[in-house]
Structure 1
Amino acid sequence: MPLFNQSIRRKIVGIALGLIVLMLVTSILSMVMSSKVGILLDELTNRYIPAYGHLARANVRSLERALALRRMVMTRMQSPTDEEAYAARLHEFEVTDRRIEEEAEGARKLINAIIDDPRTPSDNAALARIEIRIETAVTDLRRDLDQDRATLLKQVDAKQMAEARATLEHIDGVRDQFNQKIDAIRTDMLAQVFFSTSQVIGHQRQAIIVSGIVTLLAAIVGFVFALLVSSGITRPVRLLLAGTREVEAGRFDKTIAVSTQDEIGELAAAFNRMIEQLRHNERIRETFGRYIDPKVVQGLIDRPEVAIDGERRVMTIMFCDMSGFTSMSEGMTPRGLVKVMNHYFTVMSGPIRSNRGIIDKYIGDAIMAYWGPPFIEENEQALLAGLSAIDMAEQVPALQKQLPDLLGIRAMPAPCDLRIGIATGEVLTGSIGSELMMSFTVMGDAVNLASRLEAANKVYGTRILIAQATAEAIGAKLELREIDRLAVVGQSAPQAIFEVMSRAGALTAAQQDLRKHYAEGLAAYRACRFDDARVAFNAALESSPGDGPARTLLARIAEFEARPPAADWDGAWRMDSK
């Protein structure tokens, strides 16, 4: 109905005009009360809430200012300095610097407007204290930051990086103090908003009582009409309060039905827009959870300094690659290849996550993952990585059967299998990248070694190879077999490498014989007793025909018999390719 789309003042005036004969005096009183409600609602909508919004944005502006300052410093630290870029960063910093005061000044103006308005029963003393606190907070911030900024620029120009870093930390502390002051002010301001809302509700209820008296005098029709109008006023307010409580509880799925076009309707519409934005932000967070491991996100939230400064930690790194991928991809359509790779990554990522590993990235058909603090304890990481590798290898037979069915073909163009390399060592963890995009990852010799061990599986005909440090950390918790002493590309000192055969106590009799004969052959091989080594490796092949490491070392023995190794040979093999 058109009447319900009018302002609150016009609604009440409409009732008074309709019943002018019976309630002339009462209508005047109702008009005054409805005007008071309109004033209170106008003050709540156009002063209290915007003032609170300015204070909230002041926090955001302080963070933007800190970010702009860091960008300006980073630009200045480049060698040689790009003066044009530095000038742009300086301008950006000055703009964000002014915005803090602009937001604070906007809040103060609105608060002073509330205090100066004699028509509303606001707590002027409390508002005056809030206004003074805002001015004091901004003044203190400006005084401290101007001094620190000048000091920082001098330190950066003088390449005094340690002092500059300390000054930046002090600036961050000043910013945090400012944000704490603003947070406290916002809390007090929110109490004033709730007080103003209660005043609106109180005056609305008074208007309802007056309308009730009018309806008694105006008989049944007037009473029903007034009841409908008053219900149209109070229901949106109650819905708004209920919706506010839902948001306070962290639930963003409830919107308010906008049934009027008055001030309350506008407030309800603004509330609904806010809810939609909150839902959108939540969807973004859930979406990015598929691209960034939630444990990494939570770890960075708990310790944000790790992302900025980086840390050195002992971690276990895994590289997993699909053998035969190149030949397989050549005979497949792009859609089929994407379907196969998505299924392969899904199957192989499960054991990593179930064993508390962090998937760092997918590189073509390879998976890079890591285990280590702060996500798990240091003494667990090697074992969990080994268990993940065993679980992944156990998925291969089922995967080989699933892929043809997935593509609707009788057989895959090429057989697929796994090659896994695992290494443990000290790495650097932190956010690596550019200003446009960053990635929380690990870097170091252990990462390179794990990648090289994954490739070494192709040489030895194995699935899972681990470094010596990883084997020492696992101990007897898994069944291991020493394969060789190997120096991969990029390393001069050789180290023992091991194959993960199974879980502890799960070896078959044939596997036990294989490990025993292979160990005897390996000892003879390193001692240059090649005849004894050949006998032992052949015995290993009798226990497990097709054993890759035994075949590989038998081939080397044949080469050494034609071209014997040097007298000082240390029994190690050096890879000359990645």
Structure 2
Amino acid sequence: MTDIASTTGAPARRSNLLGGLLIFRQSIRRKIVGISVALIILMVITSALSMVMSKRVEHLLDELTVRYIPAYGHLARANIRSLERALALRRMVIAKMQVPADEERYAGRLRFFQEKGDEVEQEANAARKLINAIIDDVSTPSDNAALARIDNRIDSALTEGSRQLGEEQAKLLKQLDSKDLTETRATLARVDTLRDQLTQKIDAIRADMLSQVFASTSTVIRDQQQAIDVSAVVTGLAAVLGLGFAFLVSSGITRPVRRLLEGTQEIEAGRFDQLISVSTKDEIGQLSAAFNRMVEQLRRNERIRETFGRYIDPRVVEGLLDRPDAATEGQRRLMTVMFCDMKGFTSMSEGMTPQGLVKVMNCYLTMMSEPIRERHGVIDKYIGDAIMAYWGPPFIEEADQTRLACLAAIDMVDRVPKLRKQLPELLGVRVIPAECDVRIGIATGEVLTGSIGSDLMMSFTVMGDAVNLASRLEAVNKVYGCRILISEATAATVGTELELREIDRLAVVGQSKPQAVFEVMGSHGELTKQQELLRSRYKEGLAAYRIGRWEDARNAFNAALEVSPGDGPSLTLLNRLDHLQSNPPPADWNGSWHMEHK
């Protein structure tokens, strides 16, 4: 017994190792659920890690947009407000120096000047507040030392710059009120110088703050890229682990399924000598075990089928197994039945030992059975040296049955010389005690097919008048000295495919109605001129015989004997003519003959 799944030792050991794993001992449902749970866990881990890293990037991005950039914006606006204040101061000077002075415009510019001073301070304080918030937030990776320096620089620049500008601007206002143009111009120049110095300091602070903004932006981009890379790596790792785990488990499922498929294909091909290995304990393993048990049962059934095939035709066995009810009920069918017997068997078997008789019988039955099988006939039974066979549906088409039966009979007769040659060799003698030959009777008609017998033993066979007629025709060969005799129904169906010779019109034992009986001389177109002349002369004699012209019939039968000396039917009818001449038949005689013995 071979194993289609274990052709080498190494794969078998690996299969056993895998089969020993706990996971392969689980049910298919648990395996699938396990794969799903493992993939879900990997997906949750990947999602959680992505969420954590996304939150960190979100926090950094939030700090950049809420603190860094707004702080830089406040410093930029403080610079702008300082420039606006300087411009307002110049417009105040222009309004005051006009003749006459535009006091209303001067008052408006003064208010605007004072408001812009407050706004400068507010913007600077707002920037410092945001910078201090960045420094206080320990959850973000900021350069706190640089930010602290920026905060101090803002404080010192505004404190010192505001003080100096405040003093000079106070002098400028007094000088404007006193209309001291010379001092006003000098003071305004000092104010511009101080303003430019403050602007430069604020610009430097802004530049440093912009560097911090860029640094924070780089951190956000780096962390975001890191989050993407980590997510990609974790996702890829999860995919690899998930696919590997799924492949491992699915292989444990598909491998035995594939073995099961291969085993099924082997069974489909008619090879029952191979089992599949059972490496799992899940449903597929149980199915594999059940499959092996089924193979064992099929193997036993096949042995039974093969064994019965030697006793009963395999086609009959197939039908009995597939449709036992139809075989039991029986059916009426039109069939052709053959009986074959061995001439001289009784005298030949008297001097044989039992072992020699068995050899002769096996050789004879084998040689005569082969043509029947080759011509698609069904051997019904062996009765001593007799063979009973039949042709018909469902084994062959109804139109072919008579032709195949007659061709089989011709083949059987053709094998007689070979049989005569082998028998002395089987018996270890030079010549056999009696010359062997065959006698064959064939009849066509409606028969009953089915299983016939008792509750203890039954036989699938055919029964009916056609069976009895075929048996009688086989015996009639002895009377007429023929080899193959067929019934009128058989001859009518054969038509012109075979060369036939009408022998007589007979009513065999068991039948009251006579019918024509024909001899099969050979296949169509294969008769010699001598055989054709014999058939013609015999036909003339038979026609004269049936109308009571005894002398004409005698002359025709003698002419037939001149063509073929020893022709059995011609000799038989010549002997019958002597009887009829001495015992004339009744006036209504139709030329038929009633057989009184089997």
TM-score under structure 2 length normalisation = 0.56
Q: What residue in structure 2 maps to residue 535 of structure 1?
A: 555
Aligned length: 373
**Pairing 1:399–2:399 present:** no
Which of 309, 315, 323 does residue 343 from structure 2 map onto?
323
Specify which structure has the bigger relative contact order, considering alpha-carbon pairs within 8 angstroms and separated by 6 or more residues.
Answer: 2
CA distance in 2, matches of 1:507, 1:525: 25
1:409 is the counterpart of 2:429: yes
Alignment partners' CA distance in 1, 2:487 and 2:420:
28
Q: In the alignment, does 2:477 pair up with 1:461?
A: no
Matched, 1:524 2:540: no
Confirm or deny: 8 A CA contact 1:311 1:430 kept in the other structure: yes
Q: CA deviation at 1:574?
A: 0.9
Seen in structure 2, the aligned counterparts of structure 1 residues 268 and 249 have a Cα distance that, compared at 3 Å, is closer
**Aligned with 1:245 (options 261, 271, 274):** 261
Look up the match of 2:115: none
Q: Secondary structure at the match of 1:337?
A: helix
Do residues 254 (structure 1) and 274 (structure 2) align? yes
Residue type matched to 1:436 in 2? L
1:445 is the counterpart of 2:465: yes
How far is 1:566 from its partner?
A: 2.9
Residue pair 2:305, 2:317 contacting (<8 A) in 1 also: no
1:374 counterpart = 2:394: yes
Deviations 1:50-85 (A, max 9, x none): xxxxxxxxxxxxxxxxxxxxxxxxxxxxxxxxxxxx
* Aligned positions of 1:263-412 closer than 5 A: 275-300=295-320, 305-412=325-432
- 1:150-204: CA deviation from partner (whole Å, max 9, x where unpaired): xxxxxxxxxxxxxxxxxxxxxxxxxxxxxxxxxxxxxxxxxxxxx358559979x
Amino acid at match of 1:413: P
C-alpha displacement at 1:301, in angstroms?
5.8
- 2:516 equivalent to 1:496: yes
2:243 aligned residue = none
In structure 2, the CA distance between the partners of 1:274 and 1:428, relative to structure 1 (3 Å rule), is: closer
Counterpart-to-counterpart distance in 2, 1:564 and 1:332: 47
Return the offset for 1:406: 2.4
Q: For 1:440 and 1:545, how far apart are their aligned partners in 2? A: 44
How far residue 305 of structure 1 moved from its aligned partner, in angstroms, is: 4.9
Match of 1:371, as an amino acid?
Answer: W
- Point out the more displaced range, 483-492 or 434-443: 434-443
Aligned partner of residue 370 in structure 1, secondary structure: strand
The amino acid that maps onto 1:248 is T
Query: Does the 8 Å contact 2:403/2:494 carry over to 1?
Result: yes
Selected match of 1:470 from 490, 494, 501: 490
Which letter does structure 2 place at the counterpart of 1:363?
A: I
- Greater Cα offset, 342-351 or 484-493: 342-351
1:420 aligns with 2:436: no
For residues 448 and 267 of structure 1, the distance between their equivalents in structure 2, rounded to whole angstroms, comes to 54
Hey, what's the Cα distance between the residues in 2 that align with 1:268 and 1:303? 29
- SS of residue matched to 1:332: coil
Distance 1:200 1:401 in 2: 77
Q: CA deviation at 1:431?
A: 1.8
| Deviation for aligned residue 1:290 | 2.4
Give the CA deviation at 1:379.
1.8
Q: Which residue of 2 aligns with 1:545?
A: 565
- Any idea what the Cα deviations from partners look like across 1:420-464, whole Å, max 9, x if unmatched? 001111111122122333322211101100000000000000000
SS in 2 for 1:343: helix
C-alpha spacing 1:246/1:511, structure 2 compared with 1 (3 Å):
same
Residues 499-520 of structure 1: per-residue CA shift (max 9 Å, x gap): 1111111111111111111111
Q: Which amino acid aligns with 1:526?
A: R
Give the secondary structure class of the aligned counterpart of 2:411: helix
Q: Partner letter of residue 322 of structure 1? A: M
Measure the CA separation in 1 of the matches of 2:261 and 2:547. 78
Distance of aligned partners of 1:271 and 1:543 in 2 relative to their CA distance in 1, 3 Å threshold: closer
Looking at structure 1, the residues matched to 307 and 433 of structure 2 have their Cα atoms a distance apart, in angstroms, of: 35
**What is the TM-score normalised by the length of structure 1?**
0.58
Provide Cα deviations, 1:300-325, integer angstroms capped at 9, x if missing partner.
56655531332222111111111111
Counterparts of 2:553 and 2:488 in 1: how far apart (Å)?
A: 23
Name the residue aligned to 2:502: 482
Q: Secondary structure at the residue paired with 1:550?
A: helix
Q: Unmatched 5+ residue regions in structure 2? A: 1-12, 40-248
Contact 1:239-1:256 at 8 Å conserved across structures: no
What is the letter of the counterpart of residue 359 of structure 2? Answer: K
Q: Which amino acid aligns with 2:461?
A: T
1:236–1:268 CA contact under 8 A, matched in 2: no
RMSD, aligned α-carbons: 3.7
In structure 2, the CA distance between the partners of 1:264 and 1:459, relative to structure 1 (3 Å rule), is closer
**Residue 280 of structure 1: how far off its partner (Å):** 2.7
Supply the distance in 2 between the matched residues of 1:301 and 1:268 (Cα, whole angstroms).
26
List runs of 5+ in structure 1 lacking aligned partners: 13-33, 42-194, 207-232
Q: Which residue of 2 aligns with 1:512?
A: 532
C-alpha distance in structure 2 between counterparts of 1:378 and 1:462, whole Å = 27
* Separation in structure 2 between the aligned mates of residue 307 and residue 555 of structure 1, nearest angstrom: 48
How many Å separate the matches in 1 of 2:513 and 2:311? 38
Change (3 A) 1:559 1:478: same
SS across alignment from 1:380: helix
* Pair 1:447–1:278, CA change in 2 (3 A): closer
Change (3 A) 1:271 1:466: closer
Give deviations 1:382-403, integer Å, cap 9, x for gaps.
1111111111111111111111
Q: 1:239: how far off?
A: 7.4
In structure 2, do the counterparts of structure 1 residues 430 and 240 end up closer, same or farther at CA, with 3 Å as the change threshold?
same
Deviation at 1:291, TM superposition (A): 2.5
For the 8 Å contact 1:246–1:254, the answer to whether it is kept is no
Q: Could you tell me how far apart the structure 2 residues matched to 1:301 and 1:276 are? A: 18
Distance 1:407 1:201 in 2: 77
- Do 1:517 and 1:536's aligned partners in 2 also have CA atoms closer than 8 Å? yes
Q: In the aligned structure 1, how far is the partner of 2:294 from the partner of 2:336? A: 45
Instruction: Look up the equivalent residue of 1:390 and give its one-letter code.
Output: I
Establish whether residue 429 from structure 1 lines up as the match of residue 449 from structure 2. Answer: yes
